């Protein structure tokens, strides 16, 4: 189902009050809220739903499946596998329904693989084959082929590719991996470009979210132990503009060099610094980023991929409470309307996904620099004069900037 269609289902949940905490799906209000989280996550609201997942109490097979899917989208494959295992244990063999249960087994196998739990994958593979025969051959063969890539086992990889028992989603990328391992760089780029084109097309059609598009390619890079230069004609992993917000993908860390640092030329007329919260829009300079400016920065960074309302809400609001969760669509519409009125910048809305014209993007510099553009001493008096704010506000800002610096150092040490 296309991502944008998920939002249409929310109205049928009829949520009219805030559920008690911890959320428990044994109660009707808790169950409806849980399905709300599932739909918001499907549309890219990973940051919004993440804080509710650890304390949720679920009991049904489908609920464990959806919980596993949410952790999967958060790239937390260990917890995803835990949820899928519980869903798997609740499947009654005599009452197996493919449309509900196939996804549980497929995703359990993939979650175990992505989390690096190879022994557990082999254990469940044996159980699944004994119970269901060849029903999951495509998934198992695809994962074993990815393991062959990881272990640089070219004969096994080529044997699996010739067997045609490979998931259609993985055949092109596995052919690319086989070419890379054989040092056929031309074949590698051709197959990978076809794979990347298909993945990006799914994003354009709102069938897949950009986070999965990036993480899938990044995971293959890590699996091959390839350099970023090997992928430079397909995707630039360094300083990837879309707000991915991931420190880990499966068993691989996402280093600082792949985190966002800047977009656009320094000479651009419009400027937003996400670290210092300095901005310059149409000649108006200031400190402190409003919801409108945070939203604008996200849409510019998203570029042609676009960004869903739920993804935006997770980026621009520090905390979204229970009741506010049901007002995301209306709130983001208001923010985008204010951007148009306040800054005369048009953002196109299509099925609750926001896009901005390429011509506008080229006139923006989005930064994560820890320094202000202001020259001279970093004093309250200078800040007050340069940004046309009171000295009291300048003092508060300096304290906030200092805390940001200390927090950033602390996070890097974790």
d(CA 216, CA 221): 9
Average pLDDT over residues 237-249: 88
Position 246 scores a pLDDT of 86
Per the prediction, the chain carries an average pLDDT of: 88
Query: Which range (5-9, 315-319, 406-410) has the least confidence?
Result: 406-410
pLDDT of residue 178: 97
* pLDDT per residue as tens digits for the range 9-67: 555 566 666 678 888 999 888 888 898 899 899 889 999 998 888 889 999 999 999 99
User: Are the C-beta atoms of residues 145 and 160 closer than 8 Å to each other?
Assistant: yes
pLDDT at 17: 66
Domain 263-413 has CATH 3.50.50.60: no
The C-alpha atoms of residue 351 and residue 308 are separated, in whole angstroms, by 9
Residue 343's pLDDT is: 94
E-assigned strand segments in 77-155: none
Confidence of residue 405 (pLDDT cuts 50, 70, 90): low
pLDDT in tens, 213-225: 899 999 999 999 9
Percent of the chain surpassing pLDDT 70: 93
Average pLDDT, integer, range 244-252: 86
Task: Taking residues 82-98, report their average pLDDT.
Answer: 92
Least confident stretch, 15-24, 203-212, 303-312, 331-340 = 15-24
Q: Which two tokens stand for residue 133?
A: 């025969």
Q: Report the C-alpha gap between 365 and 385 in whole angstroms.
A: 23
What is the model's pLDDT at position 401?
76
**In this model, does residue 153 exceed pLDDT 80?**
yes
Q: Where are the beta strands (DSSP E) in 159-298?
A: 248-249, 252-253, 262-263, 270-273, 278-281, 284-287
């Amino acid at each position: 189902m296309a991502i944008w269609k998920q939002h249409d289902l929310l109205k049928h949940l009829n949520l009219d009050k805030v559920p008690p905490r911890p959320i428990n799906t044994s109660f009707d209000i808790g169950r409806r809220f849980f399905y709300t989280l599932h739909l918001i996550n499907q549309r890219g609201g990973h940051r919004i739903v993440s804080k509710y997942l650890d304390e949720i109490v679920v009991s049904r097979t489908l609920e464990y499946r959806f919980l596993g899917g949410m952790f999967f989208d958060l790239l937390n494959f260990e917890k995803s596998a835990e949820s899928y295992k519980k869903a798997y244990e609740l499947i009654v063999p005599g009452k197996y329904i493919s449309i509900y249960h196939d996804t549980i087994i497929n995703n359990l196998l993939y979650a175990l693989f992505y989390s690096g739990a190879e022994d557990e994958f082999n254990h469940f593979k044996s159980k699944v084959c004994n119970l269901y025969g060849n029903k999951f051959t495509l998934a198992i063969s695809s994962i074993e082929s990815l393991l062959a890539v990881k272990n640089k086992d070219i004969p096994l990889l080529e044997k699996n590719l010739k067997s045609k028992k490979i998931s259609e989603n993985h055949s092109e990328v596995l052919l690319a991996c086989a070419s890379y391992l054989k040092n056929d760089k031309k074949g590698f780029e051709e197959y990978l470009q076809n794979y990347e084109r298909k993945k990006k097309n799914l994003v354009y059609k709102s069938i897949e979210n950009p986070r999965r598009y990036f993480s899938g390619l990044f995971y293959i890079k890590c699996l091959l132990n390839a350099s970023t230069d090997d992928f430079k004609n397909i995707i630039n992993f360094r300083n990837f503009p879309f707000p991915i917000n991931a420190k880990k993908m499966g068993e691989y860390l996402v280093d600082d060099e792949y985190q966002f640092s800047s977009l656009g030329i320094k000479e651009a007329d419009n400027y937003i610094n996400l670290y210092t919260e300095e901005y310059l829009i149409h000649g108006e300079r200031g400190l402190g980023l409003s919801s409108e400016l945070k939203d604008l920065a996200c849409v510019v960074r998203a570029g042609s991929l676009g960004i869903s309302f739920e993804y935006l809400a997770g980026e621009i609001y520090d905390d979204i409470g229970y009741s506010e969760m049901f007002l995301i669509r209306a709130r983001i519409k208001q923010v985008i309307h204010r951007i148009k009125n306040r800054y005369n910048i048009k953002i196109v809305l299509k099925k609750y996904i926001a896009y901005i014209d390429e011509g506008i993007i080229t006139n923006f510099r989005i930064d994560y620099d820890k320094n202000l553009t202001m020259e001279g001493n970093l004093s309250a008096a200078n800040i007050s004069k340069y940004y046309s704010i009171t000295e009291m506000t300048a003092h508060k800002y300096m304290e906030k900037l200092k805390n940001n610096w200390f927090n950033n150092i602390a996070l890097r040490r974790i």
